[in-house]
């Protein structure tokens, strides 16, 4: 029987979160829906929970299959769906109760192939809200009610984090485009979403946080990226995507965006890898991705730091590359809000130490964020800085202000360690002291391991 929306939920060992997820769908203000739950070979009580819900609500359909991964589970959901529109939801997330009504209203009003919306991130362990501006970079969107790839060809793959769960798709668009999820243990979203972005004639963005995305989940799919098999799978997905994009007439216009998206994603995975697999992953990225592409000029890169790493990878072996990283690690400012969120650092009230270039960059980003409040900004040179309009304060004032964390915005690791010792002497707990540029120590430990 046809309905307005099919909500497709792959389920694998999700007993801890499943009821909250299902309740958020069942209680939607739009009731003309079906809820297709694909039990992907769960070994916990997820299957029993699904059948319990299906008995109590006829809109819940349970399909059981052997474990094939989230991508194939979503494909199964597409095949059995009857909805005019499709929404893909992960079993550990949940929806605002009016998301489907809101999304259907927008997609029909603007006759779009899909609509996308913003999300609220929260930490599963602490329950606190996290920085989420990385999901959609609204400043890169065109000033139009709807858009497509040719409106923002340089940023179509980089204006958002390419995830599937913050979108409502027209089913006919998916079927007519021949879109399917790849059968890979991770990165399935990348192919499906990027192809959707490239093929859609009309995309509508709803500037509301309509879904709750859970981070810091113990069994996270994304953690598999930081392994040898994970990065191999990612390269396979990107190569498959590259092949499909090259068929499109628009490929020449979209090529730079795709290159920068894929390069940033691979470098991120490589830089987060464990020491034991770093050499193998380095060679995978160089041999199976960068060397398969022609040499890329510096101006082709959106991020100068990505270019520096690319250049180093192409001419160095792993240990020499790590030494090179030490020389330019500070040339690119860290996205401090993203750093705090990714590393699950909890704290709404922030003290900032250092008002140099890095400190000023951190201050601007924290002030723009809705997730953090800079309660005090200190620097040894605070008096001179105040003369230039910088609201820095004396370090001694730290003892009179309540803060959750203090961020040391200094690149030099030796200076950072000295500051940390001084802060500890002032009675500030070490667990509150955050040193974003201490990754330099990690690269040094890599060198010690490999030499």
Show which of 295, 311, 328 is a domain's final residue.
328
Does 416 lie in the same domain as 396?
yes
Evaluate whether residue 206 is within a structural domain: yes
Show which of 289, 310, 328 is a domain's final residue.
328
Evaluate whether residue 448 is within a structural domain: no
- The CATH number linked to 160 is 3.90.550.10
Give the predicted TM-score (pTM) of the model: 0.79
Domain that holds residue 43: 3-216
* Phi, psi (deg, nearest 5) at residue 183: -90, 75
Does 108 lie in the same domain as 171?
yes
**Structure token digits, residue 441:** 């120590």
Does 341 lie in the same domain as 323?
no
Evaluate whether residue 50 is within a structural domain: yes
**How far, in Å, CA of 233 to CA of 188, rounded?**
10
Does 359 lie in the same domain as 398?
yes
Query: How many domains would you assign to the chain?
Result: 3
Does 276 lie in the same domain as 138?
no
Evaluate whether residue 288 is within a structural domain: yes
Evaluate whether residue 451 is within a structural domain: no
Does 287 lie in the same domain as 194?
no
Evaluate whether residue 447 is within a structural domain: no
**How far, in Å, CA of 141 to CA of 135, rounded?**
13
Per-residue pLDDT of the chain (451 residues; tens, 9 = 90+): 799 999 999 999 999 999 999 999 999 999 999 999 999 999 999 999 999 999 999 999 999 999 998 999 999 999 999 999 999 999 999 999 999 999 999 999 999 999 999 998 877 777 777 767 778 988 899 999 999 999 999 999 999 999 999 999 999 999 999 999 998 777 778 999 999 999 999 999 999 999 999 876 555 444 455 566 778 889 999 999 999 999 999 999 999 999 999 999 999 888 877 777 888 899 999 999 998 877 788 889 988 778 888 999 999 998 888 877 766 655 556 678 877 876 778 888 999 999 988 898 899 889 888 789 999 999 998 998 888 788 999 999 999 999 999 999 987 777 888 899 999 999 999 999 998 876 555 555 555 555 4
Does 275 lie in the same domain as 353?
no
Evaluate whether residue 449 is within a structural domain: no
- The CATH number linked to 408 is 3.40.50.720
Does 260 lie in the same domain as 194?
no
Does 92 lie in the same domain as 58?
yes
């Amino acid at each position: 029987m046809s309905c307005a929306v099919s909500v497709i939920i792959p389920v694998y060992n999700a007993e801890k979160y499943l009821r909250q997820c299902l309740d958020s769908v069942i209680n939607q203000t739009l009731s003309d829906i079906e809820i297709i739950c694909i039990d992907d070979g769960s070994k916990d009580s997820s299957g029993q929970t699904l059948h319990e819900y299906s008995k109590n609500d006829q809109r819940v359909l349970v399909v059981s299959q052997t474990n094939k991964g989230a991508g194939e589970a979503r494909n199964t959901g597409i095949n059995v769906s009857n909805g005019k529109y499709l929404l893909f939801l992960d079993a550990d997330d949940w929806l605002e109760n009016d998301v489907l009504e809101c999304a259907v209203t927008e997609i029909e009003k603007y006759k779009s192939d899909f609509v996308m919306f913003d999300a609220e991130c929260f930490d599963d362990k602490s329950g606190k809200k996290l920085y989420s501006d990385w999901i959609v970079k609204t400043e890169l969107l065109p000033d139009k009610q709807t858009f497509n790839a040719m409106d923002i060809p340089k940023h179509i793959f980089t204006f958002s984090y390419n995830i599937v769960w913050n979108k409502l798709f027209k089913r006919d668009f998916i079927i007519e485009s021949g879109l399917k999820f790849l059968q890979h243990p991770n990165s399935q979203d990348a192919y499906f979403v990027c192809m959707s972005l490239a093929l859609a004639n009309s995309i509508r963005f709803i500037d509301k946080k309509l879904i709750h995305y859970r981070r810091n989940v113990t069994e996270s799919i994304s953690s598999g990226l930081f392994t040898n098999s994970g990065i191999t799978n990612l390269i396979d997905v990107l190569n498959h995507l590259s092949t499909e994009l090259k068929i499109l007439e628009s490929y020449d216009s979209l090529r730079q965006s795709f290159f920068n998206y894929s390069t940033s994603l691979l470098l991120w995975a490589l830089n987060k890898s464990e020491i034991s697999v770093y050499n193998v992953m380095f060679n995978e990225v160089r041999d199976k991705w960068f060397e398969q592409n022609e040499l890329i000029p510096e101006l082709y890169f959106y991020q100068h730091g990505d270019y520096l790493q690319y250049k180093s990878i192409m001419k160095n072996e792993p240990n020499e590359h790590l030494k090179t990283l030490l020389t330019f690690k500070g040339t690119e400012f860290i996205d401090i809000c993203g750093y705090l969120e990714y590393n699950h650092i909890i704290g709404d009230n922030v003290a900032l130490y250092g008002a140099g270039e890095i400190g000023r960059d951190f201050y601007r980003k924290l002030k723009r964020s809705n997730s953090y409040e800079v309660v005090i900004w200190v620097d040894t040179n605070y008096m001179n800085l105040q003369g230039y309009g910088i609201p820095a304060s004396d370090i001694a004032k730290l003892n009179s202000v309540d803060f959750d964390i203090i961020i040391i915005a200094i690149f030099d690791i030796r200076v950072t360690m000295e500051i940390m010792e001084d802060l500890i002497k002032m009675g500030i707990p070490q667990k509150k002291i955050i040193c974003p540029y201490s990754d330099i120590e990690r690269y040094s430990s890599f060198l010690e391991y490999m030499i």
